[in-house]
């Protein structure tokens, strides 16, 4: 099993960022309707009222920033990623991105912000804690946990080849554990199913009332 430091270092390798960029280029050329995570992101975001800014935690080379520019040009976008190599590629797309670890993000205590976590917290040392911290530190923001994959059993890391070509363990959530976490946060939240892919979900947590 790789240590957390090794996982962080793996994301920062230039060849991983290059592979991720090429994959993103290829996906962004297609119609969003053919890429379920993109189509679902746009559909779910389009049903939320009052989102002025998306902060993309673990933005990689910035696919969601490009989508926003094209479909919701009035919504501001800022990406954060642990890998400065990924950030370089995202900047080449004209996006505002910053190098940072999701566990050490600045407090973003503003209304109108949606924090997007699309398969990034899953690589934190202990993802439920990383998620809890993001929720606690940002009570006024929406949180969108996108592309959630669940396990029947309790949440745990599984060895799975990621789409960036890295063989690193990734967290699989457990639905009941996530429900408990969100209920304990006292925030309203909803699970969104994906019509074209029953294995993935998106969870949207509302700002504190």
Ligand X SMILES: C[S@@+](CC[C@H](N)C(=O)[O-])C[C@H]1O[C@@H](n2cnc3c(N)ncnc32)[C@H](O)[C@@H]1O
Specify the residue, 116 or 205, whose C-beta has the smaller distance to ligand X.
Answer: 116
We find the least distance from the C-beta atom of residue 183 to ligand X, in angstroms, to be 25
Q: Does residue 119 belong to the site contacting ligand X (CB under 6 A)?
A: yes
Specify the residue, 168 or 178, whose C-beta has the smaller distance to ligand X.
Answer: 168
With contacts defined by CB under 6 A, how many residues of the chain interact with ligand X? Answer: 19
Residue with tokens 């997007």: 116
Are 26 and 34 spatial neighbours (Cβ–Cβ below 8 Å)? no
Are 79 and 96 spatial neighbours (Cβ–Cβ below 8 Å)? yes
| 207 CB-near residues (< 8 Å, 6+ apart) | 111, 139, 140, 141, 142, 187
Find the binder of ligand X among 54, 67, 86, 168 (CB under 6 A): 86
Query: What is the pattern of x (binds ligand X, CB under 6 A) and - over residues 154-173?
Result: --------x-x---------
We find the least distance from the C-beta atom of residue 209 to ligand X, in angstroms, to be 28
Find the binder of ligand X among 51, 63, 95, 131 (CB under 6 A): 63
Find the binder of ligand X among 39, 55, 66, 82 (CB under 6 A): 82
Q: Does residue 79 belong to the site contacting ligand X (CB under 6 A)?
A: no
We find the least distance from the C-beta atom of residue 103 to ligand X, in angstroms, to be 6
Dihedral of CA atoms 84, 87, 88, 91 in degrees, nearest 10, equals -150
Q: Does residue 120 belong to the site contacting ligand X (CB under 6 A)?
A: yes
Q: Does residue 81 belong to the site contacting ligand X (CB under 6 A)?
A: yes
Q: Please report, as residue ranges, which positions from 5 to 44 form the binding site for ligand X (by CB under 6 A).
A: 11
Find the binder of ligand X among 51, 54, 66, 124 (CB under 6 A): 124
We find the least distance from the C-beta atom of residue 186 to ligand X, in angstroms, to be 25
Question: How far is 89 from 86, CA to CA, in rounded Å?
Answer: 5
Residues in contact with ligand X by the rule CB under 6 A:
11, 58-60, 63, 81-83, 86, 101-103, 118-120, 123-124, 162, 164
């Amino acid at each position: 099993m790789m240590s957390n430091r090794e996982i962080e270092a793996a994301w920062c390798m230039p060849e991983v960022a290059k592979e991720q960029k090429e994959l993103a280029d290829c996906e962004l050329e297609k119609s969003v309707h053919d890429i379920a995570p993109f189509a679902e992101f746009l559909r779910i975001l389009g049903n939320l009222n009052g989102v002025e800014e998306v902060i993309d935690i673990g933005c990689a080379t910035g696919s969601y920033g490009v989508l926003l520019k094209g479909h919701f040009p009035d919504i501001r976008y800022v990406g954060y990623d642990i890998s400065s190599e990924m950030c370089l590629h995202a900047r080449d797309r004209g996006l505002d991105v910053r190098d940072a670890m999701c566990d050490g993000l600045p407090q973003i205590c503003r209304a109108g912000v949606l924090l997007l976590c699309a398969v990034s917290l899953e690589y934190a040392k202990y993802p439920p804690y990383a998620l809890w911290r993001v929720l606690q530190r940002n009570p006024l923001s929406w949180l969108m946990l996108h592309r959630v994959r669940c396990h029947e059993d309790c949440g745990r890391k599984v060895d799975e080849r990621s789409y960036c070509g890295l063989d690193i363990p990734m967290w699989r959530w457990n639905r009941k554990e996530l429900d408990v976490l969100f209920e304990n946060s006292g925030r309203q939240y909803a699970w969104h199913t994906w019509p074209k892919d029953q294995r993935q979900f998106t969870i949207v947590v509302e700002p504190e009332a």
